[in-house]
Amino acid sequence: MTTAPTTSRELTFRVRRFDPDTGSAPHWDSYTVNVAEGMTVLEALHQIKAEKEPTLAWRSSCRMGVCGSCGMFINDLPRLACQTQVLHLGTHVITVAPLPNYPNVKDLVPNLEPLIEKHAAIKPFIIHPNSQEVDEPTGEFLQIAEEREAFSQFTYCIKCGLCLAACPTVATDPLFLGPQALAQAYRYTADNRDCGVEERLESIDMFHGPYQCHMAGACSVACPKGVDPAFGIQLLKRTLVLDSIGFGKKKSSVAKVSPLADVVKAIEEFAPPPRTVSQ
């Protein structure tokens, strides 16, 4: 990361434009923006739209890195526009393009349907042996801190889609599930409340499943929330291989429902997780 200069300066934004109504191929337009310290690429886009190009289209919402809407290909890396400080990029020309590997709806707007469909295909919900308990709970499922930590980092996924834009397999294979769906498949199979490996096998144990991940690692480099999907996929492969030779998770080991008294006792017995913020 370069040290940000403190004075404001005029920088050029090269933005990829595409208008589906004209039927012509995408092209690049350039705009100069007076960039001050602290300005994000998203703010620069707002300025371009307000002052120079009112037809510029993109998707954004929270502007603070939690909704995952503003994924774009900025200076050769997929990033969240709201989390990318312009001056920290360290270049005079900032290129902004729509996320690759997704159909481009207009300008910087990707069609994220492939991401959502693949996510849905891996059954992203707890599959418990007692499905009635899941639908009509009578108590809590016990889960201690260590059990939570086994999959917790994969729960931070905000479905921004940057990982699929980075993945070399997604670049050629439209049916490949992709880092997001596969990491979420691991998130659920590693959850001690879930016993759904068998149910998910049909959508995971196929050619376009985890074995077409070759650990290029680009997805983990691109992920803005530290989910590290590449890690999840390798752990998923290990889970599947162990399952294929009979060392898989047994349904009997899945978390059972506990009455409230047992939950209170469990809380009292186990220490809280370690601090992640220094005092």
Partner 1 sequence: MNNKPTGYNNRLGIKGWAYAGRYSMERYLYLGHRLSGLGLIAYMVLHIVETANRIRGEQAWAGLMALFASPPFKVIEYLLFIMAVFHAMNGIRLILIELGFFLGKPKEPVYPYSTSVLRHRPLTYIIMVLAGLLIIFGGSSMFFK
Partner 2 sequence: MRETRLWSLHLLAIPIIFVLLGMHLAIMHYAPVFYGMSVDKAREFGTMIERGKSVVQFVLYILLLIAGLYHGLYGLRGILRELPLTPTLIKVVDIGILTFGLLIFALGTYVTWWTFSFKAGG
267 is an interface residue for partner 2 by CB under 8 A: no
Q: Is 47 one of the binding residues for partner 1 (CB under 8 A)?
A: no
Kind and range of the H or E element at 172? helix 168-172
User: Which residue from 28, 148, 172, 251 is in contact with partner 2, where contact means CB under 8 A?
Assistant: 172
Interface pattern 242-261 for partner 2 (x via CB under 8 A)? -xxx----------------
CA dihedral 173, 174, 180, 185 (to 10 degrees): -90
Q: Which is nearer to partner 2, 173 or 262 (CB)?
A: 173
* CB of 266 closer than 8 Å to CB of 258: yes
Least CB distance to partner 2 at residue 111 (A): 17
Applying the rule CB under 8 A, the residues between 64 and 83 that interact with partner 1 are 73, 75-78
Cα 62 to Cα 42: distance, rounded to the nearest angstrom = 11
Residue 6 φ then ψ, to 5°: -95, -20
Rg (the chain; Cα; Å): 22
- Least distance between partner 1 and beta carbon 260 (Å): 27
- Express the helix, strand and coil content of the chain in percent, nearest 5 each: 40, 15, 45
With binding defined as CB under 8 A, does residue 69 bind partner 2?
Answer: no
Would you give the binding string for partner 1 spanning residues 129-168, x where CB under 8 A is met?
Answer: --------------------xxxxxx-x---------x-x
Closer CB to partner 2, 120 or 175, in the complex: 175
* Element at 74 (helix H, strand E): strand 71-74
**Residue 26 or 259 with smaller CB distance to partner 1:** 26
Does residue 27 bind partner 1 (CB under 8 A)?
no
The bridge status of strand 77-80 relative to strand 9-17 is unpaired
Q: Where does this chain touch partner 1 (CB under 8 A) — which range of 54-62, 128-136, 213-221, 249-257?
A: 213-221
DSSP 63: S
| CA–CA separation, 166 and 208 (whole Å) | 17
Query: Residues interacting with partner 2, by CB under 8 A?
Result: 169, 172-174, 176, 201, 205-207, 209, 211-212, 237, 240-241, 243-245
